[in-house]
Structure 1
Amino acid sequence: MELKYKRILLKLSGEALMGDDSFGINTEVLGEISSQIKEIMDLGAEVGIVIGAGNIFRGVKGASQGMDRTAADNMGMLATVINSLAMQDALERGGVVTRVMSAIPMRLVCEPYIRRRAARHLEKGRAVIFAAGTGNPYFTTDSAGVLRALEIDADIIIKATKVDGVYDKDPVLHADAVKYEKLTYDEVLSKNLRVMDTAGIALAKEDNKPIMVLNMTQPGNIRRAVCGEALGTLIGS
């Protein structure tokens, strides 16, 4: 099976790691995601991963409840390291050599993020998990995902969610919600579709980096996406 996208940046939400639980990390879900990642790496894909922290702590939510925004965002970035280490463990138990690289240095548990070293890991067939966001408050992991995709020159950003694409309104709440198969960056912004934050969309637009939003709970979807099958919603110019 031939790859259309050789190097990808896979953006996972922290909430996706919960499965049907209300908090934390569901190990079965973790195993399912790691098996999909291994599947595409066995085909020759080079995979960078960014994981959110909504299953543990979300900085914006903490700030909305009265916490200092910088302190709350720092907590959120540290929570992404927990998720990243969990994903590394799942991948390596499945036979995938993996490196966690953190934007906030913590040498006892992972490597510091260095762009050229990350690219070298990818070239050697290792999965690279980019932890701690951008290392700065006020930036979401969506923005971090786009930034890392640009830095490693990924062919595409795949945002893996529990929903099979981008809709004009919440399909869980509205039975008449309409799914978009393709969108431009400007349409995402003008329609306020909240696929990812505006900073992330603006970064992707500047470099014309395509974003695919798909349902990762469907086995094989990530493989089908990297092989060029039309899935979910594709965002581009």
Structure 2
Amino acid sequence: MRVVIVEDNVLLAEGLRLLLTTAGHEVVARVDNADAFVAAVDEHRPDVSIVDVRLPPSFRDEGIHAALRVRRAHPGQKVLVLSQYVEETYAGELLSDGRPGVGYLLKDRVARVEEFLDALDRVASGGTALDPEVVAQLLTRRHDPLAALTAREREVLDLMAQGYTNGEIAGKLVVTERAVHKHVGNIFAKLDLPPSDSGHRRVLAVLAYLG
């Protein structure tokens, strides 16, 4: 896959480049600010961009706003955002456009190479990848509405919100896909959500309810 890296930390940017090229991907551009990111996407139309939340000049939320600009200008563009800390507001902004192919991970996740590459693949293919820490904070913040869920249903909801399919959830929990499908149905029923079981839309529905 063709990737644009948007990161002002030279060491992290180079580490990402080496990780991606070793995994067989092509880094078509490596930039360190929002305007250069927008220009790189205009020029290269990558399969996915990896973007730091905090970029020059103010190091606040330039990366998020640049990602939103890119996705408005090029609706098919996929973006995986990296953040040093869990910042729920930024995650919400990124998901609010309703388009598929989006991810939000903590930078620590990059060190878990297989997990990171798996998340990147999901985003590039139009899926969703949310860091488990972000999901955990959303679940904690809206604890009461989840009181009706069983422990297993909470596990399934957690993995759903991270962007995993029913088949992938079944593999992680060592249960049948039919059992996962039943749990998903129960979750939507208990949370009074539309019974959609379609990838990104079901994740957005869950996150909309939780946050």
With the length of structure 2 as denominator, give the TM-score of the two structures.
0.38
Which structure shows the bigger proportion of residues in helix conformation? 2
With the length of structure 1 as denominator, give the TM-score of the two structures.
0.35
Which structure shows the bigger proportion of residues in strand conformation? 1
Larger RCO of the pair (alpha carbons < 8 Å, separation 6+): 1
